[in-house]
Amino acid sequence: MKINRKTKKHSKKAGLPPGTLVHVGEKKTEKVRITLIDYTEQDFQEKTVDNIEECFPFKATPTVTWINIDGLHHVETIEKLGKEFELHPLILEDILNTTQRPKCEDFDKYIFIVLKMLSHDEVEGGLKAEQVSMVLNRNFVISFQEEVGDVFEQIRDRLRKSKGRIRRMGADYLAYALIDAVVDNYFVILEKFGEKIESMQEQLVADPSEKTLQQIHSLKREMIFLRKSIWPLRELINGLQRTESALVTDATNIYLRDVYDHTIQIIDTIESFRDAVSGMLDIYLSSISNRMNAVMKVLTIIATIFIPLTFIAGIYGMNFKYMPELELRWGYAVALAVMVVVAILMLIYFRRKKWL
Query: Taking each helix axis from N to C terminus, what angle separates 89-96 and 75-84, rounded to the nearest 10 degrees?
Result: 150
Pick the binder of a copy of itself from 21, 32, 148, 288 (CB under 8 A).
Answer: 288
Q: Is the Cβ of residue 52 or residue 219 nearer to a copy of itself in the bound state?
A: 219
Q: Is the Cβ of residue 93 or residue 172 nearer to a copy of itself in the bound state?
A: 93
Taking CB under 8 A as the rule, does residue 328 contact a copy of itself? yes
Rounded to whole angstroms, how far apart are CA atoms 196 and 212? 12
Among candidates 102, 293, 90, 247, which has minimal Cα distance to 186?
102
Question: Which residue stretch of 41-49, 76-84, 96-104, 132-140 sits at the interface with a copy of itself (rule: CB under 8 A)?
Answer: 96-104
Taking CB under 8 A as the rule, does residue 258 contact a copy of itself? yes
Among candidates 226, 4, 245, which has minimal Cα distance to 120?
226
Q: Where in 106-145 is the site for a copy of itself (CB under 8 A)?
A: none
Pick the binder of a copy of itself from 35, 128, 265, 342 (CB under 8 A).
Answer: 265
Number of chain residues interacting with a copy of itself (CB under 8 A): 117
Among candidates 37, 16, 71, 45, which has minimal Cα distance to 140?
37
> C-beta of 154: minimal distance to a copy of itself in Å?
4
Q: Is the Cβ of residue 52 or residue 129 nearer to a copy of itself in the bound state?
A: 129
| Amino acid occupying residue 178 | L
CB atoms within 10 A of CB 237: 25
Q: Is the Cβ of residue 83 or residue 297 nearer to a copy of itself in the bound state?
A: 297
Q: Where in 12-31 is the site for a copy of itself (CB under 8 A)?
A: 13-19
Q: Where in 34-63 is the site for a copy of itself (CB under 8 A)?
A: none
Rounded to whole angstroms, how far apart are CA atoms 203 and 186? 25
Which helix (DSSP H) or strand (DSSP E) does residue 116 occupy?
A: strand 110-120
Rounded to whole angstroms, how far apart are CA atoms 247 and 159? 21
